[in-house]
Each structure stands twice: as C-alpha cells, then as structure tokens.
C-alpha cells in the first residue's frame, strides 16, 4: 500500500479500550447464539421464530436487518458523492414503507397465507415449477446481491480502526467476521437473529444519534450546508438537475426500489411473516417507515460530513479521495466516512460506535444467510425431492448452505472488480429477483387471470438486469446506466406476465387456488 495512504488511514482515535468494547459485544452475540439453540424445534421456529414476534420487536428486527453496516457504507458513499441530493432516496424509501404499512400492499396477503417463503406462495398460486424457478431467481439475485457485504463491512472496520497499514488486514477481518456470524446463525436460526437484532437496535440507536451529534458539533450545522453549496452547487441538493449524480430516470428507479425494498425483498418479508398477527404487521411497517428513512439519511449525512471534513479540516485527505481531473482517486471513497469517524470520535465512544456497526454488520449477514439458505432448502431442494424431507434434515441442509454461502461471499468480496457504486451494484443484482417477483406477486394476489406461464416468463425477465452490471457491460463494450436496465426489466416482467397469462391461461381447475390467493391478497 502507498505510504501516503497508509499514513492517512492510520490516524485514528481507536485504542485498546475500544478493541475491548468490541470484543465484549461480539462475545455476547455468540453466547446468545448458543443459548437460544434449545428453542429451535421445527423449520417454522428456525425460519420465522414460530411466528411469535410482537410489534416493537418486529420494528427492532426489521431495523436491525435493513440497517446493516453495508447500508451505512454504501449510503455514506452516495452522500459523499451526491451531497444532500441523495436524501431523495431516503425520503422515497420511508414514504413507500409507510404506504405499504397503511395499505398492506402484498405483505398482508402473504402473511394471511402463512407461507414460510415467497416461492411457497408461488407454488400455491402457480404450481411447483414456478416455485422452483422463483427460488432459483431469488437465490441467484440475493446471493449475488450480498456478494460485496463482507468486503464493504470489513472496509469500515479497517478504516475506523487504522488496521489499513497492513495490506493483509482486509482479508483477515473478513475471515474473522465471517466465522463469528456463521457460528451463531447456524446454531440459532431466526430466533437468535431476532434477539441479536434487538440488541443491535438498542446499541445502534444510541450510537447513530451520538455520532450524528458529534459530527454536527465538530463541523457546524450551517457550515455543512454552506460547504456543499459552495463545492457542489445546486447538484448537491437537487436530484433532478441535469448534472447531478442522479437525474429523473434514477429517481424513478429509486421509487420502485423503495417499494420493493420493504414489500418484496425477502429479508423484509421474512420479518412480516414472523409477526404474530396482521395487526402487529401493520404497526411494524408504519413504524419501520421511520427506520427506512433513517437507515439511509443518517449515513448519507455522515458521508456528506466526511466530504465537508476533508474540504475544511483535513486537506491532506483530499488527494486520496477526490478525483483530480480525469485521474481517478487513489483510494476508494468508501473509506472516507470511517476515516472521518476515526478522527472525530473520542476513544471509548469510538469503540461503542464500532460495536454498533459490527452489530449492524452481523445482524444483516445472519438474516441474509438464513434467508437465502432457507429458500434453497424449502423452495428448490425440497420440492424437487421425491421423498418428503424431515424438519431435522431441512434444518441440517439449511445450516450447510449457510456455511457454503458464507464461503462464497468471502471469495466474491476478494475477486469482484466492478467499478459501479456499491448501492448501484446491489440495486441491479437485486433486480434479477425482484422485478419478476413484483409482477408475479401482484398478479398472484390481485389478478385472477394471472397464469403459471405468465409467472414463469415474468420471473425469467429479471435476467435482463444482469446487463446493468459493470463487468458485463465492459465485456459487451457498452455503457448504459444500470437504472435504465432496471426499469427495462420491470416493464418486461409486467408485459410478459400479462401477455403470457392472456395467451397461455391456466386450466379452469387452478382458478380455485387463484380465488383463495385473491381473498388473501385483499388488504
């Protein structure tokens, strides 16, 4: 690593005391994983905590899952690049979650059917082949989506602790964190995930409020806005202006993402399916709209503060993080926020904030690992087997898959070389699944004439989103915004659902299932 970069990154207030705080927190998490193992008696316990989660705990676990360290990192990157204009993504996400909570769009219907996973609903409505394809698309999009989580989360740890002086620090941190998260996810399933999500919520809530207060105290409330206005101009505030980092097409794409993020994204839906009643579910979504706003807006603000800090108080960092003309910055701007935090937070507090962030990291990983592995077990392997799988065999397979996916994200994090922002990478990989899922769920819940062929074609349409990935575009020699491919795949999925259903309707007998689905889908 360049000595200049090493010197800049090693200036942190992180001390041995802070390492102690982090170690205590991680130990508590692992012990919880071991303690709650005895409560796992069935696949429903393992995947949905026996559907016994109350409203307040539901909000905590929804926030814990959706406000992961990777969210904090990619959002800070967006704030660093786009300024306050990035806030539109947060506002849309919060508004969409509130809307889903008030109307029950999709999630009420799924909860009423008491399914364990979304593809399970596909089978009830459209048959086994749609369930298996839905499971494959979900697992493909979802596992690709979390491919960078481990690396990006570890970059935060490396940046805030100053470990960066050693070039091997990043893979080492990735490996240690992965082992920790695998241990308690494999052991406890959803029950341990929900309990650790709760602890994370408490630690994280205190952490983000204190860190935000300190950032404002350090830089000055008015200075933050003035520096962005001076350095970025209108594009630092208006997401629709022509030369901003966003634009109208991007805002439309974000509006769709805001809706699917809470109503279709499996880790969020898994929380909905774990609730003890539809009433609790409604309450969970209405309150979680605040979390969906905060999970973006606070990290955007931290990224903006990192930018202002570099421009006003740490000019030595500017050549490392900011492009000089055509020349790319030598260091990933993902490091900007943790380096900023490492410099402004005092010893002791930095340990608590780091523990909160590692908590965020772990609670997201455990939920995602559990989600994708249970989908492969429940929706791909079990339906394809000729003999019924016992609950014990299902839990065992899910645990093996958790470890397998963990090893994949370690490999992918070290190998992927795409040049897009992390958020845009996640949006486009997620689109492989959710564009098809959106039309299939809408059709399945609200349109009686939706057919299995239409659903099958709609799910396949999601593959168009792959062309939005930077390495795929490089391979094809094209340069088209990922948002455009995302919007194109939504349109294609809806069209194939409608045309496929009208041209290839299901046999009359299957409409009994359709009727049941529609009744469940009434919000």
Partner 1 sequence: MNGWMLLWKAVFILGVALFAGMSVWVTIGGFGDIKRLFARLEAAHGTKPEDE
CB of 455 to partner 1, least distance (A): 34
- Per DSSP, 335 falls in state G
Minimum CB separation of residue 209 from partner 1 in Å reads 6
CB of 363 to partner 1, least distance (A): 14
Residue 5 or 56 having the CB closest to partner 1: 56
Which one, 82 or 413, has the nearer CB to partner 1? 82
H helical segments located in 313-381: 318-321, 336-344, 349-375
Say how far apart CA 483 and CA 496 lie, in whole Å.
Answer: 20
Per-residue contact track with partner 1, 160 to 179, x per CB under 8 A? --------------------
- The minimum distance between CB 5 and partner 1, in angstroms, equals 32
For residue 509, give both structure tokens.
């007998």
3-state SS string for 220-275:
CHHHHHHHHHHHHHHHHCCCCCCCCCCCHHHHHHHHHHHHHHHHCCHHHHHHHHCE
Q: What is the smallest separation between the CB atom of 59 and partner 1, expressed in angstroms?
A: 5
Please identify, using beta-carbon distances, which residue of 89 and 260 lies nearer to partner 1: 89
- What is the number of other CB atoms lying within 10 angstroms of the CB of residue 328? 9
> For residue 41, what are the contacts with CB-CB under 8 A and spacing of at least 6?
none
What tokens appear for 310 in the block? 């570099």
CA distance 241 to 245: 9
Report how far residue 270's alpha carbon sits from residue 397's, in angstroms, rounded to the nearest whole number.
19
Could you tell me how many residues of this chain bind partner 1 (CB under 8 A)? 51
Residues comprising the chain, all counted: 523
C-beta separation of 399 from 454 below 8 A: no
Output the smallest distance, CB 378 to partner 1, in A: 17
Closest CB to partner 1 among residues 190, 440? 190
User: What does the block give as tokens for 147?
Assistant: 């491919």
Of residues 222 and 479, the one with the C-beta less far from partner 1: 222
Instruction: Count H helices and E strands in the chain, helices first.
Output: 25, 0
| Pairwise CA distance, residues 281 & 290, whole Å | 15
Closest distance between partner 1 and the C-beta of residue 42, in Å? 7
Question: Whose Cβ is closer to partner 1: residue 225's or residue 446's?
Answer: 225
Binding letters toward partner 1, positions 199-228, x by CB under 8 A: --xx--xx--x--x------------x---
Can residue 194 be called a binding residue for partner 1 (CB under 8 A)? Answer: yes
> CA-CA distance, 447 to 439, in Å (whole number)?
10
List 149, 285, 287, 307, residue binding partner 1 (CB under 8 A): 287
* Displacement of CA 456 from its chain's centroid (Å): 26
- The interface with partner 1 within residues 241-280 (CB under 8 A) comprises none
Which backbone phi and psi does 327 adopt, to 5 degrees? -80, 130
Q: Which residues in the 383-442 window bind partner 1 by CB under 8 A?
A: 392, 395
DSSP single-letter state for residue 324: B
Q: Contact, 422 vs 154, CB < 8 A?
A: no
Please say whether the dihedral angle defined by the alpha carbons of residues 369, 370, 371 and 372, taken in this order, is positive or negative: positive
Binding partner 1 (rule: CB under 8 A), the pick from 229, 403, 498, 499 is: 229
Interface segment toward partner 1; rule CB under 8 A; list 34-42, 140-148, 155-163, 479-487:
34-42
Question: Can residue 513 be called a binding residue for partner 1 (CB under 8 A)?
Answer: no
Q: Which is nearer to partner 1, 122 or 237 (CB)?
A: 237
Pick between residue 8 and residue 337 the one whose CB is nearest to partner 1. 337
Site for partner 1 in 50-109 (CB under 8 A): 50, 52-60, 63, 84-85, 87, 90-91, 94
Pull the structure tokens for residue 499.
């045309």
Q: Which of the stretches 32-40, 96-104, 156-164, 175-183 binds partner 1 when contact is defined by CB under 8 A?
A: 32-40
Q: Where are the alpha helices (DSSP H) in 376-419?
A: 382-384, 391-415
Pick one of 89, 133, 150, 195: the residue that binds partner 1 (CB under 8 A). Answer: 195
Q: In the set 14, 126, 198, 368, which binds partner 1 (CB under 8 A)?
A: 198
The CA distances from residue 308 to 214, 218, 227, 417, 483, in Å, are 14, 11, 6, 28, 28
Stretch that binds partner 1, among 265-273, 297-305, 485-493, 499-507 (CB under 8 A): 297-305
Q: Which is nearer to partner 1, 57 or 375 (CB)?
A: 57
Tell me the C-alpha distance between 359 and 204, whole Å. Answer: 8
Stretch that binds partner 1, among 99-107, 177-185, 283-291, 380-388 (CB under 8 A): 283-291
CB nearer partner 1, residue 286 or residue 499: 286
Considering only 25, 80, 301, 425, the residue that binds partner 1 (CB under 8 A) is 301
Which C-beta is closer to partner 1: that of 209 or that of 318?
A: 209
Is 253 or 287 the residue whose CB approaches partner 1 more closely? 287
- CA dist 488 and 479 (Å) reads 15
Instruction: Note the maximum CA span of the chain.
Output: 71
| Stretch of 233-241, 331-339, 420-428, 465-473 contacting partner 1, by CB under 8 A | 233-241
State the residues that interact with partner 1 by CB under 8 A: 37-42, 45, 49-50, 52-60, 63, 84-85, 87, 90-91, 94, 191, 194-195, 198, 201-202, 205-206, 209, 212, 225, 229, 233-234, 237-238, 287, 290-291, 293-294, 297-298, 301, 392, 395
């Amino acid at each position: 690593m360049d000595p200049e970069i090493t010197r800049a990154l090693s200036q942190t207030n992180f001390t041995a005391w802070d390492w102690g705080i982090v170690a205590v927190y991680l130990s508590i998490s692992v012990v919880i994983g071991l303690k709650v193992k005895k409560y796992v008696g069935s696949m429903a316990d393992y995947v949905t905590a026996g559907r016994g989660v109350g409203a307040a705990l539901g909000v905590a676990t929804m926030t814990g899952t959706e406000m992961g360290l990777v969210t904090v990192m990619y959002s800070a990157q967006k704030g660093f690049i786009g300024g306050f204009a990035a806030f539109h993504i947060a506002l849309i996400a919060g508004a969409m979650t509130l809307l889903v909570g008030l109307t029950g769009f999709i999630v009420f219907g799924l909860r009423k059917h008491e399914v364990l996973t979304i593809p399970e609903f596909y089978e009830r409505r459209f048959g086994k082949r749609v369930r298996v394809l839905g499971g494959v698309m979900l697992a493909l999009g979802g596992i690709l989506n979390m491919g960078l989580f481990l690396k990006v989360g570890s970059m935060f740890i490396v940046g805030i602790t100053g470990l960066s002086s050693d070039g091997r620090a990043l893979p080492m941190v990735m490996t240690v964190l992965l082992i920790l998260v695998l241990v308690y996810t494999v052991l406890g399933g959803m029950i341990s995930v929900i309990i650790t999500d709760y602890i994370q919520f408490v630690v994280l809530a205190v952490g983000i409020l204190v860190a935000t207060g300190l950032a404002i105290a350090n830089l000055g409330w008015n200075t933050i806005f003035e520096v962005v206005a001076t350095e970025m101009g209108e594009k630092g505030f208006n997401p629709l202006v022509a030369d901003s980092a966003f634009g109208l097409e991007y805002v439309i794409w974000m509006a769709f993402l805001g809706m699917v993020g809470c109503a279709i994204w499996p880790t969020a839906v898994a929380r909905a399916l774990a609730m003890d009643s539809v009433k609790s579910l409604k309450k969970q979504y209405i309150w979680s709209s605040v979390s969906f706003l905060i999970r973006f807006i606070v990290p955007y603000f931290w990224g903006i503060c990192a930018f202002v800090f570099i421009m006003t108080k740490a000019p030595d960092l500017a050549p490392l993080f900011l492009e000089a003309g055509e020349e790319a910055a030598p260091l990933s701007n993902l490091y900007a926020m943790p380096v900023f935090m490492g410099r402004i937070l005092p010893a002791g507090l930095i340990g608590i904030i780091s523990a909160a962030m590692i908590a965020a990291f772990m609670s997201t990983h455990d939920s995602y690992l559990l989600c994708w592995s249970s989908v492969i077990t429940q929706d791909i392997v079990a339906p394809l087997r000729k003999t019924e799988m016992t609950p014990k065999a299902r839990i065992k397979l899910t645990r093996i898959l958790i470890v397998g996916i963990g090893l994949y994200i370690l490999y992918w994090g070290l190998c992927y070389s795409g040049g897009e922002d992390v958020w845009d990478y996640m949006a486009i990989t997620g689109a492989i699944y959710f564009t098809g899922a959106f039309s299939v769920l809408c059709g399945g819940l609200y349109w009686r004439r939706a057919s299995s062929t239409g659903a099958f074609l709609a799910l396949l349409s999601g593959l168009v989103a792959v062309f939005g990935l930077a390495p795929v575009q490089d391979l094809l020699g094209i340069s088209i915004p990922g948002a455009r491919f995302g919007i194109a795949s939504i349109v294609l999925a809806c069209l194939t659902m409608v045309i496929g259903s009208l041209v290839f309707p299901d046999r009359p007998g299957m409409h009994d299932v359709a009727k049941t689905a529609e009744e469940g889908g009434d919000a």
